[in-house]
Amino acid sequence: MGFLASLLTSALGTFVLLPLLLFLLSVKLWGLYCLRGRDPACPLPLPPGSMGLPFFGETLQLVLQRRRFLEMKRRKYGLVYKTHLFGRPTVRVMGPENVRHILLGEHRLVAVQWPASVRTILGSGCLSNLHDAQHKRRKKVIMGAFSREALEHYIPAIQGEVSACLGRWLGASEEELLVYPAVKRLMFRIATRILLGLRPKAPPEKQEEQQEQRLVEAFEEMVRNLFSLPIDVPFSGLYKGLRARGVIHAQIEESIRAKLAARGEPSSSSSSSSKDALQLLMEHTQGPEGEQLSMQELKESATELLFGGHETTASAATSLIIFLGLHHEVLRKVRKELQEKGLLSKQSQEKHLGMEVLEQLKYTGCVVKETLRLSPPVPGGFRVALKTFELNGYQIPKGWNVIYSISDTHEVAELFTNKEEFNPDRFMSPFPEDVSRFSFIPFGGGLRSCVGKEFAKILLKIFTVELARNCDWQLINGPPTMKTGPTVYPEDNLPTKFTSFNGQV
């Protein structure tokens, strides 16, 4: 009996001790792995910070806590700190001078490298994942879809979609509207029409509405799972993201084949100003000097355009509704500017806006800028160190990921006084370019600045004009809590009640 008790005790001890020893060993190995990341040829220390749990790093904390986690890290470690995210040792960088060093170091110090899940879901053929000459050529082609001439051509379609959408909101004025999903639907419709050339019928038929809804839901599922652990097994985030991408790719391929079938028809020989971004990419592929893009690369490029063209603008447009709803004096100033330009009367609303008129709306443009300063849709960007280099007195080892923060840089930039105040007037006088260039970076900067930034500015300006001259609104829950996933959005989806504006400034 005593032997059995002794044996049982020994077995239980082994059962408890072995996992403990394995855990301690993994912690030790993790510590050695983290130390090994330092470049011994460089005398500078690594940035301060922590690397989190063995193997998982601090990814789980970031996913669960988002903004709160990042704010805690910044307060504790400053504007440059180390961490371990998405399976890689990482340095997070904030502040105009630090970010300038990263953005101007493209191809020399750093190169773009998004987390593995993002690269897998968006695909290797999209602009964000291309490098050097290939990136330069592809960007030049896509920029043709955002020239001044092209933007002028898009304005009536944008204005028509925004005006029709606001009309539907006002038609349901007795009910609360969840603004964020509604704005996402609007921006998705605009992006599919202008960037992919899809021409929905008006009013949309039931079958087409259902098809559009399926596409919207697939995009939301894909975006939700962009930043996930790179494990492709059933029910994982990556698995769900790839399945959703399949739905989107099927619709885009249908559009591509329709464009190919229509090649040579009279309607397809329009000027470049009326061509969508996908059409330009396809023509570049077919041209004698163009890079030969496969169907998969075309689908990946189109998916990226849709993501950039509606997810970020939906975030910014929702933030515009929030800030103007909370700051009625700013909304009055927008309306006063519209009145001075003859754009507030009912008769003027029947006329199409144009580039020249939109450029004259200086204060309205400042409202858009101030919104992007306080609530940039994309919180930052990803790079990888091509070699070990110095930043703010620390070494950034070769091979480490580098995340530069847009939102934190706006918060700490000395250029702006009373940083938490929503004050569009701060942009009415131009800032010195050498000081402001990397203090205000809602569209990134350097060689990787957002290819569609002029499109976004025009779209947000038109949205602000139509909103101000048609609607009054009340935020039911007051100022919302904002989350990031991966763009900034209100946690409660912003329930709002809209009523018609009476025309009195």
In a domain, 27, yes or no: no
pTM summary value? 0.86
Q: Which of 505, 472, 473, 477 is nearest to 492 (CA)?
A: 477
What pLDDT score was predicted for residue 402? 97
351 lies in which domain range?
122-500
Q: What is the pLDDT of residue 54?
A: 79
What is the structure's pLDDT at 139?
Answer: 87
- C-alpha to C-alpha distance for 135 and 147, rounded to whole angstroms: 18
pLDDT tens digits, one per residue of 433-473: 777 789 999 999 988 899 999 999 999 999 999 999 999 99
Surface-to-core class of residue 454, CB atoms within 10 Å of its CB (0-12 exposed, 13-18 middle, 19+ buried): middle
- Percent of the chain whose pLDDT exceeds 90: 52
Report CA Rg, the chain: 25
Residue 282 has pLDDT above 90, yes or no: no
Residue 28 lies in a domain: no
Return the H-helix or E-strand segment holding 383. Answer: strand 380-385
58 is a domain residue: no
Say what the pLDDT of residue 193 is: 86
Listed range (191-195, 214-218, 291-295) with the worst mean pLDDT:
291-295
pLDDT digits (tens, 9 = 90+) for 58-75: 988 887 877 888 899 999
152 burial type by CB count under 10 A (0-12 exposed, 13-18 middle, 19+ buried): middle
Q: Per-residue confidence at 242, pLDDT binned at 50, 70, 90?
A: very high
pLDDT tens digits, residue range 334-391? Answer: 999 999 999 987 766 666 799 999 999 999 999 999 999 999 999 899 999 999 999 9
pLDDT (average), residues 212-220:
86
Is beta strand 88-93 parallel, antiparallel or unpaired with respect to 401-405? Answer: parallel
Q: Comparing C-alpha atoms, which of 136, 457, 446, 179 is closest to residue 312? A: 457
Structural domain includes residue 127:
yes
pLDDT for residue 35 is more than 90: no
**Whole-Å CA distances, 187 to 161, 409, 462, 502:** 9, 27, 12, 26
**Percent of the chain clearing pLDDT 70 (strictly above):** 85
Residue spans of alpha helices (H) in 375-489 = 406-412, 433-436, 453-470
What backbone phi and psi angles, to 5 degrees, belong to 343?
A: -110, 10
Mean pLDDT of the chain: 86
- 124-128, 243-247, 363-367, 496-500: the lowest-pLDDT one: 124-128
Distance CA 146, CA 502 (A): 35
Mean pLDDT of 30-40: 64
Highest-pLDDT range among 20-34, 39-53, 246-260, 265-279: 39-53
Number of domains composing the chain? 1
Q: Look at residue 145 in the predicted model and tell me its pLDDT.
A: 83
Give per-residue pLDDT as tens, 131-156.
888 888 888 888 888 889 889 989 99
Beta-strand relationship, 482-484 and 488-490: antiparallel
Identity of the residue numbered 475: L
Q: 471-491, pLDDT tens digit by residue? A: 999 999 999 999 887 889 999
Is residue 447 in a domain?
yes
pLDDT, residue 501, reads 93
Neighbouring residues of 495: CB distance < 8 A, sequence distance ≥ 6: 176, 177, 178, 179, 475, 476, 477
Q: Burial code of 422-447, b = ≥16 C-beta within 10 A, e = fewer?
A: bbbebbeeeeeeeebbbbbbbbbbbe
pLDDT computed for residue 221 by the predictor = 92
Q: List the structure tokens of 278.
A: 């996908």
pLDDT at 294: 84
Distance CA 323, CA 318 (A): 9
In-domain check, residue 43: no
**Which of 159-173, 219-233, 301-315, 397-411 has the highest mean predicted lDDT (pLDDT)?**
397-411
Is 374 inside a domain boundary? yes
Torsion of CA 83, 89, 93, 99, to 10 degrees: 180
CATH number at residue 415: 1.10.630.10
Two tokens at 360? 């004259």
DSSP H or E stretch at residue 403: strand 401-405
The whole-number pLDDT of residue 269 equals: 47
Report which of residues 486 and 314 the model is more confident about.
314
Span between the terminal Cα atoms of the chain, in Å: 94
Please indicate, yes or no, if residue 443 is contained in any of the structural domains.
Answer: yes
Residue 216 has pLDDT above 70, yes or no: yes
pLDDT score, position 349: 66
Q: Helix, strand, or coil here: 483?
A: strand
